């Protein structure tokens, strides 16, 4: 009897991930690393799942795994190719092993606002970048914006030289490393789920992220304060395996892609409000936010400008120009 019970438990737990899926439905697993709610990506993933589960009921069934519970961002890209998951949305900084073109999005002070980001991703240049990884098996379905990034550290940062000698956690991006070095700091690449612990134990002194990540991961609780630098974009590629996408019946694929497009537009329109709310949440929770005056801001822009030149060859001057033009 015990054997039968544990066998049943095993079956149950194996099915837990697709608990709401009916027999015969294609299961679409989406794995990401951020909070399930109150975060641009978490909310977008939930909305996508809701729409797929309502509108494609009987055909497809989507399950979302938030908070790095299934895979971190390095592993999820491998998992897509292995068919262990069908959707992911790692930040554009995490594709360096597959394309150097996305270094564009990491250039400091490239986009002046989320509106400019929107202009660029909807342009031909922006759309063209969705398919640059098809030769290595990935198709981008859209860009999910997440806000501009802010710096935090275990001491006040008002000008870049305040970062002298400090160690910052960065994503797996050489552009981010160059940026930190331009400030006189050193950079350490770490998975997102390790950042809080690394800040708390002093493995690193600081980090850079969106208001939503700084609030939902509680980074501000283990930092002296956050400086409102808006120095870099955080955005994600809603990405799938090209092979999986091509394997879908044309009708099913069209319906799924249409839903993904609509969710992308709706989710991006909500980002600014979510970011503003999480900035306020940090203040309400007793966190410190420092704003820059014009002179201090100029010091950050000037310090980071050499980073552009360093990566221009990988990205292409024409693409940089197109992105800059979207600021108008």
E-strand stretches of 130-205: 138-148, 150-153, 167-170, 186-189
Give the angle 118-231-167 at the CA atoms, nearest 5°.
140
Query: Among residues 33, 110, 204, 259, which is the contact residue for ligand LMR, using CB under 6 A?
Result: 33
Gap between the Cα atoms of 121 and 141, Å rounded: 12
CB of 146: closest distance to ligand LMR in angstroms? 6
Residue in 9, 19, 35, 29 with CA at minimum distance from that of residue 219: 35
HSE-up of residue 107 (Cα within 13 Å, Cβ side): 29
CB of 90: closest distance to ligand LMR in angstroms? 7
Nearer CB in complex with ligand LMR: 61/268: 268
Q: How many CB atoms lie within 10 A of CB 283?
A: 13
Q: How many CB atoms lie within 10 A of CB 204?
A: 23
Residue in 315, 275, 279 with CA at minimum distance from that of residue 106: 315
Query: Among residues 68, 171, 242, 264, which is the contact residue for ligand LMR, using CB under 6 A?
Result: 171
Sign of CA dihedral 207, 209, 215, 218: negative
Burial of residue 42 (CB within 10 Å: 0-12, 13-18, 19+) is: buried
Nearer CB in complex with ligand LMR: 87/248: 87
Phi-psi region at 266: left, alpha or beta (left = phi > 0; alpha = psi -120 to 50): alpha
Residue with tokens 């099913």: 252
CB of 171: closest distance to ligand LMR in angstroms? 5
Q: Does 139 bind ligand LMR (CB under 6 A)?
A: no
Nearer CB in complex with ligand LMR: 192/220: 192
Q: Does 34 bind ligand LMR (CB under 6 A)?
A: yes
Residue in 56, 63, 55, 6 with CA at minimum distance from that of residue 29: 63
CB of 308: closest distance to ligand LMR in angstroms? 21
Q: What does the block give as tokens for 292?
A: 């820059």
CB of 321: closest distance to ligand LMR in angstroms? 26
Q: What does the block give as tokens for 44?
A: 């977008």
Q: Does 192 bind ligand LMR (CB under 6 A)?
A: yes
Query: Among residues 86, 91, 119, 152, which is the contact residue for ligand LMR, using CB under 6 A?
Result: 91
Q: Does 152 bind ligand LMR (CB under 6 A)?
A: no
Helix or strand run (H / E) with residue 209: strand 206-209
Query: Among residues 173, 209, 229, 242, which is the contact residue for ligand LMR, using CB under 6 A?
Result: 209
Number of residues that bind ligand LMR (CB under 6 A): 10
CB of 77: closest distance to ligand LMR in angstroms? 13
CB of 70: closest distance to ligand LMR in angstroms? 14
Choose one: 23-31, 33-41, 48-56, 108-116; the region binding ligand LMR (CB under 6 A): 33-41
CB of 115: closest distance to ligand LMR in angstroms? 20
Cross-strand pairs, 235: 145
Binding mask 101-130 for ligand LMR (x = CB under 6 A): ------------------------------
Nearer CB in complex with ligand LMR: 125/213: 213
Query: Among residues 31, 213, 241, 242, which is the contact residue for ligand LMR, using CB under 6 A?
Result: 213
Which residues sit at the interface with ligand LMR, rule CB under 6 A?
A: 33-34, 41, 91, 146, 171, 192, 209, 213, 234
């Amino acid at each position: 009897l015990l054997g039968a019970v544990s066998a049943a438990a095993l079956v149950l737990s194996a099915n837990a991930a697709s608990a709401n899926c009916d027999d015969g439905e294609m299961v679409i697993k989406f794995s990401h690393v951020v909070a399930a709610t109150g975060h641009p990506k978490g909310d977008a993933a939930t909305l996508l799942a809701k729409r797929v589960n309502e509108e494609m009921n009987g055909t497809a069934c989507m399950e979302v795994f938030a908070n790095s519970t299934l895979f971190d961002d390095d592993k999820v890209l491998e998992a897509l190719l292995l068919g262990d998951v069908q959707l992911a949305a790692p930040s554009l900084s995490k594709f360096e092993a597959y394309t150097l073109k996305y270094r564009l999005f990491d250039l400091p002070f490239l986009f002046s606002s989320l509106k400019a980001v929107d202009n660029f991703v909807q342009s031909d240049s922006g759309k063209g970048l969705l398919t640059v990884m098809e030769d290595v098996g990935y198709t981008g379905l859209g860009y999910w914006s997440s806000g501009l990034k802010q710096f935090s550290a275990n001491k006040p940062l008002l000008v870049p030289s305040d970062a002298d000698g400090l160690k910052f956690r960065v994503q797996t991006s050489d552009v981010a490393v160059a940026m930190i070095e331009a400030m006189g700091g050193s950079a350490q690449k770490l998975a997102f789920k390790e950042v809080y612990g690394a800040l708390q134990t002093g493995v690193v002194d600081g980090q850079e992220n969106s208001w939503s990540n700084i609030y939902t991961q509680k980074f501000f609780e283990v930092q002296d304060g956050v400086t409102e630098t808006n120095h870099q974009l955080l955005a994600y590629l809603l990405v799938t395996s090209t092979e999986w996408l091509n394997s879908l019946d044309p009708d099913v694929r069209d319906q799924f892609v249409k839903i993904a497009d609509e969710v992308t537009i709706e989710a991006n329109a909500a980002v600014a409000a979510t970011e503003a709310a999480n900035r306020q949440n940090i203040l309400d929770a007793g966190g410190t936010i420092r704003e820059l005056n014009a002179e201090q801001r100029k010091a950050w822009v000037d310090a980071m400008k050499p980073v552009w030149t360093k990566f221009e060859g990988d990205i292409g001057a024409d693409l940089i120009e197109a992105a800059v033009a979207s600021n108008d």
